[in-house]
């Protein structure tokens, strides 16, 4: 059996290694048009920033090491220019010599990945405009920084690469601005949770120009003007386009394979394309979302590696299936860690799900043990069934392990209420006896059983201020004086029972505290005394962070820059 693989990075390299482990006698040929295989895309910004110092550390394998271990013919700087399914061959061009030839196959695996989205705008292609996708891209950016010593950069796009690159350029002392049309960074997060990411970026000097449309680029004064719709241009010494990626599927299209979203390759759960002898994996393929069941594109290394393994299994006679992608991810944002899994509330509702969420602010470990820090968790679930749909966490230590627990719970089909039953490891330096994941389960259970009712940030604007309801803040007077919402009166929770006479009977009571815990206790007191009480999800800390962020974005839209 002869297997040809197009693309030698995550999915392609994984498939090649798995094929060899399953079949010692198969002939395996990999064509990679760049000069590198099996490289770590996610590490590229950290090489630019000097966190990773050795460029060889970016490549997990070389063609020589791969051949030595797996006897796989890895041919870099070889570009496949056409696929001929009718005769089961591919046309290949040697980019070093210019020579062209055909290579036959019994089975073909496409792992071409995705390419940086290149908008059709005036000025694209200027010398000082860069993309960041391959090792070669990284070296070009690094060389420009080392030789030209730019003082400022504009990054068009606020996804994973944009944020990681912003951090690394700031660490090099550069002035950095992120500009993009969406009014939030990091689309896996809901806008309210993205507010914490925005705050961290601003606190480290990154300027955010959100809600601005880039219309082109012009060279000026030794730098680049980023032209904005209805705004003054942004000027910088260099610009990096990080507005997303597009499936690189020109070969698949020309070969007549079935295509899907944004020209991606349609595959089944065995990673088979519309041609029974051609498989496809990685960023170029359309997959099912594990939670919604909808067709999606998810450009993440984990799914690509799993898909490569599955394709190899099936080529070798197995029956491996890809269950779909959850989109689990984590990113460092300066001192902050932000992670998500499943579907956020915004996309859950777009998918037609009757979604709700709880927001909580637990400590990373036991409060009495020194060094604990707050994290903000948002757990999304389906009303009525309590099906766990997704989660987002922003904080410091312990964020990654909680998101992994929640990811596993979604994959296992647990309801959000079952989170309370998980037996999670506890010691004071690492967690609390009631782990944050358990706490989320307690909150959802209380809602599900009617023990407490909640109101959300989006409900705040509709609360009547004419006395028909009582608005109550149960924090201490000191907390209240440092910041509160207009119309909320202050009665500390520990004084509530003695001061119930100050609350008009028969009126609903909407209760707030700093994080949602004391207001929950107050709601239980009020419910026990016959009041119809509602707890504010997330507390004043959450409200203040989100509302302050929205004001900054609105101000930026008015003046043209977020400072």
pLDDT tens readout for residues 153-210? 999 999 998 999 999 999 999 999 999 999 999 999 999 999 999 999 999 999 999 9
Residues 6 or more apart whose CB falls under 8 angstroms from that of 556 comprise: 208, 209, 210, 211, 562, 563
Residue 375 banded pLDDT, cuts 50, 70, 90: very high
Q: How far is CA 471 from CA 83, 180, 262, 556, in A?
A: 67, 38, 48, 31
- With a cut of 90, say whether residue 122 has pLDDT above it: no
pLDDT band at 559 (very low <50, low <70, confident <90, very high): low
Q: Flag whether pLDDT at 90 surpasses 90.
A: yes
The percent of residues in the chain predicted with pLDDT above 90, rounded, is 83
Summarize pLDDT for 208-256 with one digit per residue, the tens: 999 999 999 999 998 999 999 989 999 999 999 988 788 999 999 999 9
Sign of CA dihedral 481, 486, 491, 492: negative
Q: Which two tokens stand for residue 51?
A: 């966190």
| CA 59 from centre of chain | 24
**pLDDT at residue number 382:** 97
What percent of the chain clears pLDDT 70, i.e. is strictly above it?
Answer: 99
CA dihedral in degrees (66, 71, 76, 80; nearest 10)? -130
Q: Where are the alpha helices (DSSP H) in 150-258?
A: 160-171, 191-203, 250-254
Q: Which residue has the tokens 């993205």?
A: 194
In this predicted model, what pLDDT tens digit does every residue of 54-76 receive, in sequence order? Answer: 877 777 788 899 999 999 999 99
SS3 348: helix
The reply to whether 523 belongs to the active site is no
Q: Summarize pLDDT for 123-157 with one digit per residue, the tens.
A: 888 889 998 888 888 999 999 999 999 999 999 99
Predicted local confidence at residue 61, as pLDDT? 81
Helices marked H in 352-506: 399-411, 436-448, 477-482
d(CA 223, CA 264): 36
Q: Residue 427 CB: number of other CB atoms within 10 A?
A: 11
Q: What pLDDT score does 116 carry?
A: 79
Which band of pLDDT confidence, cut at 50, 70 and 90, is reported for residue 411?
very high
pLDDT of residue 563: 42
pLDDT tens string 256-287: 999 999 999 999 999 999 999 999 999 999 99
The tens digit of pLDDT for each residue in 471-520 reads 999 999 999 999 999 999 999 999 999 999 999 999 999 999 999 999 99
Task: Look up residue 441 and give its DSSP letter.
Answer: H
Q: What is the pLDDT of residue 207?
A: 96
Q: In what order do the strands lie in the sheet with 295-296?
A: 265-266, 285-288, 295-296
């Amino acid at each position: 059996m002869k297997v040809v693989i197009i693309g030698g990075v995550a999915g392609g390299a994984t498939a090649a290694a798995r094929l060899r482990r399953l079949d010692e006698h198969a002939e395996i040929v990999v064509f990679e048009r760049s000069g590198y295989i099996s490289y770590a895309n996610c590490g590229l910004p950290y090489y630019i920033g000097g966190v990773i110092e050795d460029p060889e550390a970016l490549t997990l394998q070389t063609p020589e090491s791969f051949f030595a271990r797996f006897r796989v013919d890895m041919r870099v700087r070889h570009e496949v220019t056409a696929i001929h399914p009718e005769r089961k061959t591919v046309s290949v061009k040697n980019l070093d010599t210019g020579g062209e030839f055909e290579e036959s196959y019994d089975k073909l695996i496409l792992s071409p990945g995705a390419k940086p989205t290149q908008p059709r705008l005036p000025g694209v292609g200027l010398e000082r405009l860069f993309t960041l996708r391959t090792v070669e891209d990284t070296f070009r950016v690094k060389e420009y920084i080392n030789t030209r010593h730019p003082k400022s950069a504009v990054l068009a796009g606020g996804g994973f690469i944009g944020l990681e690159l912003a951090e690394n350029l700031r660490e090099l002392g550069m002035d950095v601005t992120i500009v993009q049309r969406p009014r939030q960074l990091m689309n896996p997060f809901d806008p309210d949770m993205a507010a914490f990411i925005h705050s961290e970026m601003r606190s480290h000097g990154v300027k955010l120009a959100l809600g601005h449309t880039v219309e082109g680029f012009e060279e000026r004064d030794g730098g680049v003007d980023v032209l904005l719709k209805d705004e003054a241009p942004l000027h910088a010494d260099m610009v990096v386009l990080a507005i997303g990626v597009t499936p690189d599927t020109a070969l698949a299209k020309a070969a007549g394979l079935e295509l899907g979203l944004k020209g991606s390759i349609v595959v089944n759960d065995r990673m088979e394309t519309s041609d029974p002898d051609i498989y496809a994996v990685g960023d170029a393929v359309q997959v099912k979302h594990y939670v919604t069941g909808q067709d999606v594109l998810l450009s993440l290394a984990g799914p690509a590696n799993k898909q490569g393994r599955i394709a190899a299994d099936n080529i070798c006679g197995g029956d491996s299936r890809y269950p779909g992608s959850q989109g689990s991810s984590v990113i460092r944002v300066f001192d902050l860690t932000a992670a998500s899994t499943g579907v956020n509330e915004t996309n859950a509702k777009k998918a037609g799900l009757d979604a709700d969420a709880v927001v909580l602010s637990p400590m990373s470990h036991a409060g009495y043990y020194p060094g604990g820090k707050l994290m903000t968790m948002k757990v999304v679930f389906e009303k009525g069934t309590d099906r766990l749909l997704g989660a987002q966490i922003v904080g410091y230590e312990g964020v990654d392990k909680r998101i992994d627990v929640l990811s596993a719970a979604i994959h296992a089909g647990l309801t959000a209420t079952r989170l309370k039953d998980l037996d999670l490891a506890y010691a004071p330096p690492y967690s609390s006896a009631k782990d944050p994941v358990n706490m989320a389960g307690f909150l959802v259970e209380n809602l599900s059983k009617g023990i407490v009712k909640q109101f959300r940030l989006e409900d705040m604007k509709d609360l009547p201020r004419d006395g028909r309801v009582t608005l109550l803040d149960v924090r201490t007077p000191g907390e209240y004086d440092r910041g509160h919402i207009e119309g909320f009166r202050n009665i500390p929770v520990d004084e509530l029972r003695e001061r119930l006479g100050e609350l008009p009977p028969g009126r609903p009571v909407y209760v707030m505290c700093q994080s949602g815990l004391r207001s929950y206790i107050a709601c239980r007191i009020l419910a026990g005394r016959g009041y119809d009480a509602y707890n504010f999800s997330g507390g004043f800390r959450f409200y203040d962070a989100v509302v302050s962020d929205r004001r900054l974005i609105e101000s930026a839209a008015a003046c043209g820059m977020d400072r």
